[in-house]
Amino acid sequence: MYFLFHPLSSLNHLVARLVTDQISFIVSLILFIIIALNYKKTFWQNIDQSIAKWATEPKDSLIRNISANFAMFGNAIFHILFSIVIALILFLTKHTASLVCGILFTLIFSWVLNRLMKLVYKRERPEHINSNVRKRLSYCFPSGHIMASISIYFFSAVLLQNFIPFLPWYLIAFVISFFVIMSRIYLNHHYFTDVLAGIAMGIFCLNISIWFYFCVGIM
């Protein structure tokens, strides 16, 4: 009955549980390990090719058009600006240094970990991309846009939900992250396995950031 009278609140709570639950954390780690060890195998390569073919088909859709405009929300520069603004707002209103530490930790941890992982796996971008673009964009496994977006936007939702509870911050974070994910698929700068790995490591980084935040807040 509660869902019928409070659908947004119920969905918001459900999304919060899905991305921050310990089971989700463990599942995300298992998923990443499976993909990281097997993405070069035929099964996963066939999935990558099928999704890439579907994404490049000449068709028009609302999700395709909207998601293409959301690519900037997964950009590192945008994440830096977003994190600074959120950190300043929360610090000036709550005067708590742990909030700033938590946000900056999430930003730095997610992007640095992503860069390190890309250097470890050194997976080249899809062949259809221009060679100059591939060089400029570096390696592709896992997707940094997705990995950082999930951790940054959902961690911000964790903080904002406590301070401005009348807005469904987890749902907002989910919508933004969803369109960032779709933008990576439609722009085809990543294999689908890069996207899945980015989602898995995004949830991983989010949970580590939450643990860090509570440890800092307790100290």
Report domain extents, the chain: 72-219
Q: What pLDDT sits at residue 178?
A: 92
Cα–Cα nearest to 198, from 214, 182, 213: 182
Question: Which ranges of 21-130 would DSSP assign to H, the alpha helix?
Answer: 22-38, 42-55, 62-69, 76-94, 97-121
User: CB of 203 within 8 A of CB of 150?
Assistant: yes
Look at residue 213 in the predicted model and tell me its pLDDT: 85
Q: Is the pLDDT of residue 168 over 70?
A: yes
Q: How confident is the model at residue 10 (pLDDT cuts 50, 70, 90)?
A: confident
39 to 25, 27, 31, 96, 179: CA distances (angstroms): 21, 17, 11, 43, 24
* pLDDT for 219: 43
| Of 31-40, 129-138, 202-211, the least confident | 129-138
Mean local confidence (pLDDT), 156-170: 86
Output the CA torsion 118→122→124→125 (10° steps).
0
pTM of model > 0.85: yes
Please say if the pLDDT value at position 158 is more than 80: yes
d(CA 26, CA 11): 22
